[in-house]
Every structure is written in structure tokens, then in C-alpha cells.
Chains A and B, each alone.
Chain A
Amino acid sequence: QVQLVESGGGVVQPGRSLRLSCEASGFTFSSYGMHWVRQAPGKGLEWVAVIWHDGSDKDYGESVKGRFTISRDNSKNTLFLQMNSLGADDTAVYYCGRGDGCRGGSCYLDSWGQGTLVTVAS
């Protein structure tokens, strides 16, 4: 069955960087666009980024544009999120999700990982 496992979260100081990973299994990873969605403590869901199935295109939410970079390695079935210049507002659980039913880069997410917590604090 589809499985997505995030890793790389932790506590990081403001202004520093962190790289998240999402290892996929149970499906043909290279056939799907992949997303990152985050959820601040006690808050709702915020879409962060998408990467096309072949990595040919990417898009970002306004709050992370210019600071975060999404990438993928289809040979290793792994999705990444490089996060730079982190601030307190970036504190959240970060989920990776598989996209389907897409209109451009906008998709519903039919499978989600369990999430990894990123805490930005000094």
C-alpha cells in the first residue's frame, strides 16, 4: 500500500536551514506530483509546495517563496524540502502528500505521511 515517511524535522534556530525528506513506497513515485503541506500547532492546513512528477515544474505558497525549495530524486523515491531563513512562523508539522486529480499543480492529496515537526526557536 502507499506509504510516505517524512524525516528531518527538529529544533532549529531562527535564520538557520533545515532539509526535510519524504520516502515513498507502494506506488510508482515518478508518476505523481508531490506536495508539502504544513500545520502550525493548533492551526489549520497550509499548502507549501508542489513538484511535478518529473521535476519539470515547481510552485510555492507565497509565505515560503524564495526561502524554500522542493526537489525530488525519482531514482530513490524521495521528496525533499530545503528550508532556508527559517522564522518562528515556520514552526509546524510538515506533511508530504501525493497529488491526484490535478489541475496544473493544484491537486487533491490522496495519501499523506505522518508528518515531521519543525520547531524554530532560539
Chain B
Amino acid sequence: EIVLTQSPGTLSLSPGEGATLSCRASQSVTSYNLAWYQQKPGQAPRLLIYDASTRVTGVPDRFSGSGFGTDFSLTISRLEPEDFAVYYCQQYGSSPQTFGQGTKVEVK
């Protein structure tokens, strides 16, 4: 199974700052099959990005995804108050699909 390692574990930033979250795979992810989710306390995860860089309709363009192979990233260009949450990457290119352990973006 492909293990996804997210870094850092926690990112402490102020509103207006930019954030870059990393997701590294133990093996190459097939065909850019990587997604990013946002989860706020007490809520279900919300899909933000799929196919490594395709934004879901309605997701602000300050969110962008990039990468291929084993190295992927999610960039938030300018943090808004509602962006402070936990972010998970997921690969769905091979079975079983797997999730990273999450990166928490918290207010500094």
C-alpha cells in the first residue's frame, strides 16, 4: 500500500500569510490521482482538489494543488480566517486508497 506522509504536522500562520502543505508518497502515485480535503472541527471532510491540481467548483482560487510522482503540495496563497483547519491528502491511483495523516493549519 502507498503510504502518504504529510508535512509539517502543524503550520502556525497569521491570516493573510501564504501556506504550503506537502504530501510525499512512498511510491509513485498513478496518473496524478491525488486529492486534498479540508476538515474543520466537528465537520466532515470537504473535497478541495482532485487529480493533483483540479479545483472543485466553488473552491476559492487561493487554493492550488501541484506535483506528480511522489511529491505533491497544496498552496493557500493568502489565508482567510475560514481556512484554518486540518488538510488531508489522499491517493486513489492504486488499491487500497490511502490518506495522509493530516496537516493542521492553526492561527499563530
Give A contacts to B, CB under 8 Å: 37, 44-47, 59, 61-62, 95, 100-115
Contact = CB atoms under 8 A, between A and B. Distances in A.
Contacts, number: 70
Contact of B100 (A44, A95, A103, A114): A44
Interface string B35-51: 10100000111110011
B101 A103 contact: no
A45 B91 CA distance: 12
Contact of A46 (B91, B95, B99): B99
Interface of B: 30-31, 33, 35, 37, 43-47, 50-51, 56, 88, 90-102
B95 A106 contact: yes
19 contacts: A44-B101, A44-B102, A45-B88, A46-B99, A100-B50, A101-B33, A101-B50, A101-B51, A103-B93, A104-B95, A106-B33, A106-B93, A106-B95, A108-B35, A108-B90, A109-B35, A110-B50, A110-B56, A114-B44
A112 B88 contact: no
B99 A103 contact: no
A101 B97 CA distance: 12
Contacts of B90: 45, 108-109
B46 to A, nearest CB: 7
A103 B31 contact: yes
